[in-house]
Chains A and B, each alone.
Chain A
Amino acid sequence: MFSRLRNDFPILDTRVGESPLSYLDSGATSQKPQCVIDTFTEYYSQRNAAVHRGAHTLAVMATDAFEAGREGVANLVGGTPEQVVWTKNATEALNIVALGIDRASHGFGGEAAKRFGLGPEDSIVVTEMEHHANLVPWQQLAESTGAQLRWIPVTDTGELDLSDLESIVDETTKVFAFTHVSNVLGTINPVQRLVGRARAVDSLVVLDACQSVPHMPVSFVDLDVDFAAFSAHKALGPTGLGSLWGKSDLLNSLPPVLTGGSMITTVTMEESRFMDAPQRFEAGTQPVAEVAAFTTAVNYLAEVGLDKIFDHERQLAAVLLDGIANIPGVTVLGAAEERIGTVAFDVAGVHAHDVGQYLDSQGVAVRVGHHCAQPLHRRFGVTATTRASTYLYNNTEDCEQLLTALAEVRSFFGAE
């Protein structure tokens, strides 16, 4: 099945110079199947109109498409369509939570929002492996409210060091925000254990699911998280769209950050009342075509099966890890057993930027740099790494192409 579905992705036929393209940068953004690309044409040529207003036929069709997207996402990650808020991206989703808590801490949102209030006696906990998107907003919240920011360290094997979990996440903790899967190490974190600790101290749980939702079966309901964020473009969907998933009672009491049209019930010259989620957080014109395209992507993923995608990528990860282990001078960051097909490595004597440039000359597309995780890189004593990340359309040949080129890098730069 996986060899066949590769044909659904026209961009994979691209040639880079004299080489076929080996696209191993899906952790940054995924490629799109033809059906997702076609949805844009179909939507704009047959269904385009403003949603949630106007009584005409096209407006009804556009609204249906927009709302059907929530249903698709709810089928994918659990919960009901009302629990799915559309955002610009995952970063915005995480900021909506952090800034909403900030507003609640400064008296916005009335009685219902008091549960979110933070002060100097409280703490926010993150981890050392967070993407900047799930770190910087919490730093800002700590600065704004006086709350203490704490973090769970990372072990040499690239896993969360939970030996002091009970003292880091304690009775003062009001927010515990962590990633489901590391975007650098590929490590899958033990969400249940972390949520268990959060529940014991009555803390909110915010999950960054950007690297899990596209690659493995995920149920936010089963994981019992309070909020979760992910992006469409990493899951075969378009750019410009992300999602905030939340428990309904929490979403409906969290003060919105972006206010204006489409999110109010009544407006007087003095004040306004807000709708319940999801529209509460969707002020202004929404990315309707993107939602339609993402719905196609979600259906595609469901048809293939995320359990099968997970197994397929596990096999590719094994090919990468075994192959890299045989290349002298190349060291993989982390060694977690529970992982996805994301592998970051350091090449002795050659900077990641140069590694990436050489690999590109051989048709291999990877990410180089700190992958928006500077503290994690600092933890491993490096400023930048090279990262290969797989997806359902990759095959063993893609991995072999990387390994062959990687084996030549150190001699090219005279680092042997």
Chain B
Amino acid sequence: MSTQMQQLYQQVILDHSRSRIGNADLLGDAATGAHGSSHQINPTCGDEIELETELAGDGGLTVRWSGDGCSISMASASVLSELAGDTTVADMFVIEAKFHELMHSRGTLEGEEEILGDAAAFSGVSKFPARIKCALLSWVAFKDALNQAQTSLEE
């Protein structure tokens, strides 16, 4: 097995691809309070995710998603959901930007584990240009849904 493959499919990624944190029934129209939802699709392979964010009054954040895709895209959504449950909205924007930067680093950056947590394990993905979209699919949905939730909070 090549080292690159081991870097791509780190055990933490394979574990998340099976445990799928945040993979739950969506609230859809039943959502109350500040919330947003986003549907993203990767047209090259048909991978798909629908993701909802919900803001609590205390600044807490909940992420729920439903999707179908490869281990990288599913693990990425799971890691994102786990991080969102442990941190504030402001920190999640920082993490999102860091993760985006990591994915476009072509393998030149090491993931900063103290900021990115399990998402640092995706550093190997950035060496596989065809897989970067897989890793970013849920994060694109997250950013979109979170912006919607914040807008609805301000209204």
Query: Given A18-B2, A353-B70, A383-B45, 13 other A-B contacts at CB below 8 A?
Result: A351-B47, A351-B70, A351-B71, A353-B69, A353-B134, A361-B2, A369-B44, A369-B45, A369-B46, A370-B45, A374-B46, A377-B46, A384-B47
Cβ of A110 < 8 Å from any Cβ of B?
no
Cβ of A368 < 8 Å from any Cβ of B?
yes
B45–A358 contact, CB under 8 A?
A: no
> 8 Å CB contacts to B: which residues of A210-245?
none
Chain A residues in 8 Å Cβ range of B44: 369
Nearest residue (CB) in A for B3 is A17
Tell me how far the C-beta of A333 lies from the nearest C-beta in chain B, rounded to whole angstroms: 15
B46–A357 contact, CB under 8 A?
A: no
Tell me how far the C-beta of A25 lies from the nearest C-beta in chain B, rounded to whole angstroms: 13
19 contacts between A and B (CB under 8 A): A17-B2, A18-B2, A351-B69, A353-B69, A353-B72, A353-B134, A357-B8, A357-B9, A358-B5, A361-B1, A361-B4, A361-B5, A369-B46, A370-B45, A374-B46, A412-B9, A413-B9, A413-B17, A414-B18
Cβ of B104 < 8 Å from any Cβ of A?
no
A383–B48 contact, CB under 8 A?
A: yes
**Per-position binary interface string of chain B over residues 5-49, scored 1 when its CB falls under 8 Å from any chain A CB and 0 otherwise:** 100110000100110000000000000000000000000111110
Tell me how far the C-beta of B1 lies from the nearest C-beta in chain A, rounded to whole angstroms: 7
Best-surrounded residue of B5, B14, B46 (most CB of chain A within 10 A): B46
- Bound-state CA distance A377–B14 (Å) is 26
Chain B residues in 8 Å Cβ range of A368: 45
> 8 Å CB contacts to B: which residues of A372-412?
374, 377, 383-384, 412
Tell me how far the C-beta of A125 lies from the nearest C-beta in chain B, rounded to whole angstroms: 26
Cβ of A352 < 8 Å from any Cβ of B?
yes
A413–B4 contact, CB under 8 A?
A: no
Range of interface residues on B (Cβ < 8 Å): 20 to 34
Cβ of B131 < 8 Å from any Cβ of A?
yes
Tell me how far the C-beta of A242 lies from the nearest C-beta in chain B, rounded to whole angstroms: 22
Nearest residue (CB) in A for B8 is A357
- Total A-B pairs in contact (CB under 8 Å)? 56
A383 touches which one: B46, B71, B134 (CB < 8 A)? B46
Chain A residues in 8 Å Cβ range of B17: 413
Cβ of A161 < 8 Å from any Cβ of B?
no
A384–B45 contact, CB under 8 A?
A: yes
Chain B residues in 8 Å Cβ range of A18: 2
Tell me how far the C-beta of A135 lies from the nearest C-beta in chain B, rounded to whole angstroms: 15
- Bound-state CA distance A368–B1 (Å) is 21
B70–A354 contact, CB under 8 A?
A: yes
The 8 closest A-B pairs by CB, nearest first: A353-B70, A351-B70, A383-B46, A369-B45, A361-B5, A370-B46, A354-B71, A354-B70
Chain B residues in 8 Å Cβ range of A414: 14, 18
Nearest residue (CB) in A for B44 is A369
Tell me how far the C-beta of B56 lies from the nearest C-beta in chain A, rounded to whole angstroms: 33
